[in-house]
Chain A
């Protein structure tokens, strides 16, 4: 541990604080307390996400339209955030789309390193307005083949495995000729 009181000519004149290194913790040079809260929620889906997930279970992607700004919106919502009015109709979309952006991740959710990268990105869905889509995984391709603008298609879990979750789509794969 180190209390640093470096003085400089400018401001801030000094920087108070006591640095603790990882070693200070493993050597138990510092005392600390531990608490693990029980944190559980069951969020109501609401009509928009509720229907969206139900349709995923059926193997379909659905959106909502706003007639005022003429958008087809996915993920769907019951109100249009730009017009501030209720959206109008349910519209089935294709399960194909375009990669708008992506990343090749070597980090797990807790920032631990992983060897096999996760391919992740935003897919705009065919049938919806431009730039309207959601985040999902990519697979069946080499990381270096993943490009912005490439066409992809959803790979679904089998009907039995589907639970009404975004993960009912396993991932998106490159679209081949003949894919609809």
Chain B
């Protein structure tokens, strides 16, 4: 016979376990970041790397001399890249987790709204037709990718609203809009006058973190941080919505409003990341699934756990991509997919077995 006290004890034990898992990932993340910082084509010692960082953050400390080459490698190239990997991984994974929740679909992520094709199209448009504006070239592409993501979201939102604003209508509208932009993207690649432009598009689409600068981070970090905090504030709503829209309403949640708010949050977070990095797949899809296996579906724990796991995976993949064929780098988008696909298939098979076995 299970008494009330037993149940409470079990529940608080489960809660402690979740905190422990989340804290462990946090520690793993710090270790990975430090390791990633001290390995690369030109490899300063770990001590030197840390000296650079601490003397940059606390200039008054006077920690001793470091060569300017080391300083450039660590501070201008490697650290921003690591920071961006953390931001991008966390943001994509958190957006993926919440999107799966509101759409009640384990295969969903913010990409299901068609925003990856839209970003690609926006970027391609800028690359092909704006390539001559060399001075602001970088931001032209980023800006265009971001704007087209938002445009895709607005179109999806309007279609979904006209067809009842349910999770099904959002998914179908997203798929349709995604196909549209992917056709337009192909069209641009087909008619592009220069071969260089086409390879630039392909390169952008692959996704990578090598071009990250502190300036990028200054724009990206606040957006991702704010949207993630707002996603966290939606945790209960998403929990309830996972049980169906009628149930959500009966529990006092305006399901249509929650769907709309989350669509906007997830799109803005994802768009602000992929505009800088190009399309990085699978972190958004897989990190939430692993996190769910570890801490369950309660979004109060799932969002932070997914974010930490996403950051860990993306940083890991980027580090592997940097080191595996030195000095040639493999774009992180390729590594995440190469590592992600087999794992994802494994999950699918396992889930089937559990559901029907």
* A-B complex is real: no
Residues of chain A touching chain B, judged by Cβ–Cβ distance below 8 Å, are none
Residue positions of B touching A, CB distance < 8 A: none
